[in-house]
Amino acid sequence: MIFNYSAASRGLRTRDGPPGCPGSAPPSAGALAARTGCAGRQVAPGCAGCLIFSAAWESPPTFGFLLDIDGVLVRGHRVIPAALEAFRRLLDSQGQLRVPVVFVTNAGNILQHGKAQELSALLGFKVEPDQVILSHSPMKLFSQYHRRRMLVSGQGPLVENARALGFENVVTVDELRAAFPVLDMVDLQRRPKTTPLPPSDFPAIEGVLLLGEPVRWETSLQLIMDVLLSNGNPGTGLATAPYPHLPVLASNMDLLWMAEAKMPRFGHGTFLLCLETIYQKVTGKELRYEGLMGKPSILTYQYAEDLIRQQTERRGWVAPIQNLYAVGDNPMSDVYGANLFHQYLQMVKHDGAQELGAGGLWKQRPSATQSCTSILVCTGVYSPKVPVSTEPAQGGEEPPFHGHRDFRFSQELMEASHIVHDVDEAVQLVFHKEGWAL
Ligand SMILES: [Mg+2]
């Protein structure tokens, strides 16, 4: 038996309950209130009766969360206390998520299952690897390059990450440097003492993967440039650099990110800025990306939407997900990305899928998603006490734009739909908007 709990239902409905449950017959609103002492509220926080009620009778969710990690759930290696509160609301009495949640981070120099384990330990519930979207995760979609010989830049478990994304034939910058030691000349201590012959059997490189910020930037910048200028044969010298150059796939364009330090740190976006500037200066042409992913790229949100859909299907929730809520601390990546995706959803609804902005698009299956709402928190990069770059600076100076070259400055896109203190307030806000019990 299923019936609407009330005309102004918060999305709760009742059906035959489990044995022993006080609600095995559908209760009236008044009876429920009397039973739980909720005094007119449908479900009271912390009330055991209400928890049983909400777990047993909650309607399938029609909304889901895209949660940023750094600055929203954690700062460095410390969990933000509000994140624990938020998950108390998001989990049911069985420790299961009440709504679909994916974690969307621009981090990249880590394995997906490693990040899931780290989050599980910090948040106190089991996070599955396929709930975690790293900045390079959408590279799985670029299967046309998976069999090509790709130079991979970054740090950490680089080769493992590239393989997990589907790339079968990768060469690291360190391996390239070992094969051609005369290429890396900035550090006097690392210059070769002799002049070895270049290998004659080194297969040509056919593309470049930029997974995250490397260490020894001068080495990576030099060798990536060598590969692009030589069409993948850095042992040879070409009179004219080929253009278009070899395909470049890049992820994580964050200029800065927030760790334990009081001031933001360099992100991979700073490395990309260096590479783009050097390429432009040397060749007079623009470095082009075959794919640019991580927030705020639409590609990342399409990928996240697909994982939300898969999670919903696995849980047996029959209602399609209509509203996505993206919670983040960075106006340029989290807010801009969510708003750009929302614009994209509106455009698709009216005109069908077309190219919009940079970063490429993935032809995905038709979706029921109607909206993507941006929610900015104040526990990370953004602080309400510091003027944000979207606001005109005093004295008429242009505010700095920290976004990537391929994403135009847009004050509208950098303005969050909601600004709240922390992720717990964000969850409360969304539950209220969706008519769900806290
Ligand atoms: Mg963040």
CB 102 within 8 A of CB 131: yes
How many angstroms separate the CA atoms of 118 and 132, rounded? 11
User: Rounded to the nearest whole angstrom, what is the distance from the C-alpha of residue 211 to the centroid of ligand 1?
Assistant: 17
Centre of ligand 1 from the C-alpha of residue 416, in Å: 14
Condensed to tens digits (0 to 9), the pLDDT of residues 250-288 reads 999 999 887 778 888 899 999 999 999 999 999 999 999
Residues surrounding ion ligand 1 at CB below 5 Å: 68, 70-71, 329-330
From the CA of 157, how far away is ligand 1's center (Å)? 22
The 10s digit of each residue's pLDDT in 418-436 is 999 999 999 999 999 999 9
344-357 pLDDT per residue, tens? 999 887 766 554 44
Say if residues 327 and 372 touch (Cβ distance below 8 Å).
Answer: no
Give buried/exposed letters for 24-45 (b at 16+ CB in 10 A, else e). Answer: eebbeeeebbeebebeebbbbe
Ligand 1 center from residue 257 Cα (angstroms):
7
Query: 201: pLDDT confidence band, cut at 50, 70 and 90?
Result: confident
- Summarised one tens digit per residue, pLDDT across range 102-119 is 999 998 888 999 999 999
Distance CA 325, CA 340 (A): 13
| Centre of ligand 1 from the C-alpha of residue 252, in Å | 12
Share of the chain above pLDDT 90, in %: 64
Lowest-pLDDT choice from 152-156, 209-213, 293-297, 329-333: 329-333
Which of 194 and 413 is assigned the larger pLDDT?
A: 413
Paired sense of beta strands 63-67 and 101-104, if any: parallel
Instruction: Find the mean pLDDT for residues 333-343.
Output: 96
Are 272 and 210 in contact by the 8 Å Cβ rule? The answer is yes
Q: Is the pLDDT confidence value at 68 over 50? A: yes
Q: How far is the CA of 159 from the centre of ligand 1 (A)?
A: 25
Contact 211, 158 (CB under 8 A): yes
Q: 324: CA distance to ligand 1 center in Å?
A: 18
| 42 has a pLDDT exceeding 90 | no
Q: How far is the CA of 384 from the centre of ligand 1 (A)?
A: 15
Asked if the model's pLDDT at residue 405 lies above 60, the reply is: yes
Point out which residues pair with 374 in neighbouring strands: 326
Around 42, how many Cα atoms within 13 Å sit in the side-chain half-sphere? 21
